[in-house]
Structures are given as structure tokens and as C-alpha cells.
Amino acid sequence: MTTGSANSRYTLYGSPSSLYTGKVRSYLRKQQINFVEAHPSSDRYTASVVPVVGRWIIPVLETPDGRLIQDGADIIDHFERGATATRYPAYPTTPRHLAVSHVFELFGGEGLLRPAMHYRWNFNDQNLAFLEDEFTTSLFPPMPAEQAAAFFLHASGRMRKAAVNFGVNADTAPFIEEAFVEWLELFDAHLGVSPYLLGGLPTLGDYGLMAAMWAHLFRDPAPAMLVKQRAPRVGRWVERMSTYEPYDGEYPEAGTASPQLFADDSIPPTLTALMRYVSEEYLPEITAHVQHANTWLSDRPDLVTGTNGLPDPASRGIGRVDFTWRGMPISTNVMPYRFWLMQRLHDAVAQQDANGQAAVRATLAEAGLDSLLDLRTTRRVERVNHLEVWGPVAARS
């Protein structure tokens, strides 16, 4: 069910196989926003969307009046910051819940990329026929079968290379699988306490987690079986996040009253355990990325504000960095977009009073995540005309 008339309908350019589309689609459904999904293989996307947003990228939302919004966070903010109240606000109003929700937005879209890419591209027997059909259906324009097969071979080759850039290789694969099972077990335990991360309603963190958990880790055949066998509550959470309603029969007591987040800004032990996992799994990586970025920026004192400092304005990466992950060396690409997401956490905490900031720091410290609050690039990342660019040096004074 959606609300609004046909002339108030939004268009979501995305794909069932797209990681970042999953975040937005889930949000639009939960808010009962009237939208239709269009594939990026459409002529309109190529002719009218790509020239405006500056690159081939999804998701993109087209508003009823023709404006384009690119990126899941910006799309969510279009509704959350709008004049009309949303059905289930994505942003909690209490300090700790708000901060934790931002942590999982960052982790869901960026910290789960290794298992997402590993389980998609390293299980050909289970996944390949499904993926070829998915890509052919939603990402390529209509073409003869032989040409589509060649397109898929090229596209999948690029994605396999991207997986390596996220740290997926023969040496890391066993550790990625071990870590993902640990994540599933911890998340499954938390969902035994609550239908969502922070209680009775989905928040920004749930939508962030849907990025990796939907297309790559639940729809793709190989990880789908793993999720259902090892963490059935997680599977049902994914299904619940894909519906318009907040509850299914698993939580009948929650569905009989007005849905609420955990009382008094509280954080249950099962959620603290999840945050400890984020600390172990992702904090070393984002820390190394910030250090690399600051070195990269110091080597470019004349970098022009409002640019990405690269020959191609649409480029997303600024090199690779080595760090230690779960006791082993690993190398991953550094992308300023992650710093922009992290800044959203910093900005949310900065808006709290002294007591709220102290409560947030104590909560993250209990999980070993408090240093995330202090990670800063020497220049802020901004998003201008749908692209990530560097802000002025003075912005970090």
C-alpha cells in the first residue's frame, strides 16, 4: 500500500541486485511513499539522469516535480527534513539512539562490503545463473542473448575486481566467512529481544544494514541459504524490512500497541555486543582510511575547494591503504564517501548538549567504538551536485 495520487508518485532508479538501492527501497516502503521503481537500463535514465548526476550510479530518486536526488542518505533526508512528517521517523530523537543509528548506517553500507562481495562473486555454482539473469533483466538494455552474455562477462569481471579492492581474496575468504557467521549469530540474538535495532520501529541503522543484507546477502542464493540456516531471525528481519508494515506475527505484543523505541534511550546488552563486533570488524579499516586521506590531503595543499582533487570529477577513490584486520594484513580502496557518512555521526553528536554527548561517548566506549567520534579528515567531505568533494581547509580549524 502507498499513499498519494499518481501525480505525486516518485520514481526510484535502482535494481533488485543493487546494494545501495536496498537501503532506499526499504525506507520508501516503510513510509508508504508512493513510488515506482525503474531500471537504470531505461532510455530516460541514460538520457536524463546520468547527465544531471554526473555519473552512472544508483539509486537515484526522481521527485514528482522532476528533481533528482542521488544517494540513499540524501533521499532519506529529503523526506525526513521535509514539511510533512514521515510515518516512522528514521532519526531517533534521543542522543544514544541517534548516534547508534548513525553507526549502523555507516557499517551497513560500508562495513559489510567484504562479505557482500565475497558471497556474491566467489560462489559461482550457486550464484552465477541467478546473477546473469538479474543483471540482464535490470542493468542492461534489451539485446540479443549472446550480446547480453558478453555484457555480463564484462560487468561481472569489473565487480570481481571491485571485490578484490574491498579486501576479498583467497587469503581473506575464510576469515570473511567466519566473521560473517559471527555477525549473523550476534544479530540473530539481538532480534530475539527486539524486531529492529533500537526497539519497535526501524530507524536509520536498520535501513543502512539493508544495503548489504538485502540484495547481496539475502537474495543471492549462496548467502541466502546460510542466513536461513544460521540466523533465521535475521532472515525474517530482512523480509520485515521489505514490507510496508512494521510487524509480522513474530512480535504480536509489539503490534498491539503504539510502536516505540527502547525506553529511556537505553541500549540492551545484545546491541552492545553488535557494536563490539563493529569495533573489531570495521574500526581498524575506517581508522586507516582516515589516516591515508589526511596524508593524501597534506600532499595536495593546493587542492581546490569543491573538487575531489582527481582528474575525473566522478571518481570515488583516492588510493589504497594497508592495515591489519583480524590479525592479518589486508589492503582496501579508500573512498571519501565513507568519511561523509561518518561526519553525519559526528554532526549528530555535536548537536547534543554536554550530557547527551557524554552519554554517547560512554555508550560507544563500552563497545570499544569511542575513537570513532574523534576520527577526522583535515578537510570535510561535502556532497555538491551529487558528487563527493572536499570542503575548505578552514572547515576543520
Q: What is the pLDDT along the chain (397 residues), one digit of tens a residue?
A: 444 445 689 999 999 999 999 999 999 999 999 999 999 999 899 999 999 999 999 999 999 999 999 999 999 999 999 878 789 999 999 999 999 999 999 999 999 999 999 999 999 999 999 999 998 888 777 778 888 888 889 889 999 999 999 999 999 999 999 999 999 999 999 999 999 999 999 999 999 999 999 999 999 999 999 999 999 999 999 999 999 887 777 887 666 667 889 999 999 999 999 999 999 999 999 999 999 999 999 999 999 999 999 999 999 999 999 999 999 999 999 999 999 999 999 999 999 999 999 999 999 999 999 999 999 999 999 999 999 999 998 645 3
DSSP 261: B
Same-domain status, 220 and 334:
no
Query: For the chain, how many structural domains are there in total?
Result: 3
Query: Are 126 and 185 members of one domain?
Result: yes
Residue 89, domain member (yes or no) = no
Last residue of a domain, one of 265, 298, 323: 265
Which grid cell sits at 6? Answer: 499518481
Cell of residue 196, nine digits: 529492529
| Domain that includes residue 381, residue range | 269-396
300-334 burial code (b ≥16 CB/10 A, e <16): eeebeeeebbeeeeeebebeebebebeeeebbbbb
Whether residue 293 sits in one domain with residue 379? yes
Contacts of 229 (CB under 8 A, 6+ apart): none
Q: Name the domain boundary from 246, 265, 284.
A: 265
Strand partners, 13: 38, 60
Residues 6+ apart with CB under 8 A from 194: 200, 262, 268, 270
Sign of CA dihedral 61, 351, 338, 388: positive
Task: Please tell me the distance from the alpha carbon of residue 379 to that of residue 121, in angstroms, as a whole number.
Answer: 35
Strands (E), the chain: 10-13, 35-38, 60-62, 68-70, 320-325, 328-333, 381-384, 387-390
Domain of 45, CATH number, reads: 3.40.30.10
Residue 254 lies in a domain: yes
Q: C-alpha cell of 391?
A: 570542503
Q: What are phi and psi of 333, to 5 degrees?
A: -70, 145
Which of 209, 222, 234 is closest to 112 using CA atoms?
209
Evaluate whether residue 85 is within a structural domain: no
Local structure of residue 196 (DSSP, 8 states): B
Can you give the pLDDT at residue 272?
99
282, 386, 261, 300: which is closest to 342 by C-alpha? Answer: 282
Residue at 295 is within a domain: yes
Is residue 177 assigned to a domain? yes
Q: Residue 145's pLDDT is what? A: 82
Contacts (Cβ under 8 Å, ≥6 apart) of 310: 318
User: In the prediction, which pLDDT does 255 show?
Assistant: 62
Grid cell locating 77: 533526508
Same domain, 252 and 275: no
| Residue 33 and residue 10 in contact, taking contact as beta carbons nearer than 8 Å | yes
Q: Are residues 46 and 101 in the same domain?
A: no
Indicate the length of the chain as a whole number.
Answer: 397
What count of other Cβ atoms lies within 10 Å of the Cβ of residue 397? 6
Are residue 308 and residue 198 in the same domain, yes or no?
A: no
Same domain, 33 and 172: no
Closest CA to 99 of 280, 301, 278, 326: 278
φ, ψ for residue 196 (rounded to 5)? -135, 175
Whether residues 146 and 245 fall in one domain: yes
Q: What is the pLDDT of residue 1?
A: 40
C-beta of residue 254 within 8 angstroms of C-beta of residue 195: yes
What is the grid cell recorded at 27? Answer: 525506507
Measured between alpha carbons, how far is residue 163 from residues 80, 104, 135, 225, 332 in Å? 33, 21, 17, 21, 9
pLDDT reported for residue 359: 99
Full-model pTM: 0.94
Smallest CA-to-CA distance from 244 within 31, 15, 11, 7 is with 31
Dist. CA 282–CA 290, nearest whole Å: 13
Q: What is the DSSP string of 60-87?
A: EEE-TTS-EEESHHHHHHHHHTSSSPPS
Q: Within this chain, do residues 134 and 247 fall inside the same structural domain, yes or no? A: yes
Among 80, 104, 120, residue at a domain's last position: 80
- Domain containing 184 — which CATH number? 1.20.1050.10
Verify that 226 and 333 share a domain, yes or no: no
Task: Please confirm whether the linkage preceding 392 is cis (ω < 30° from 0).
Answer: no
DSSP string, 275-307: HHHHHHHHHHHHHHHHHHHHHHHHT-TTPPTTS
C-alpha to C-alpha distance for 16 and 204, rounded to whole angstroms: 20
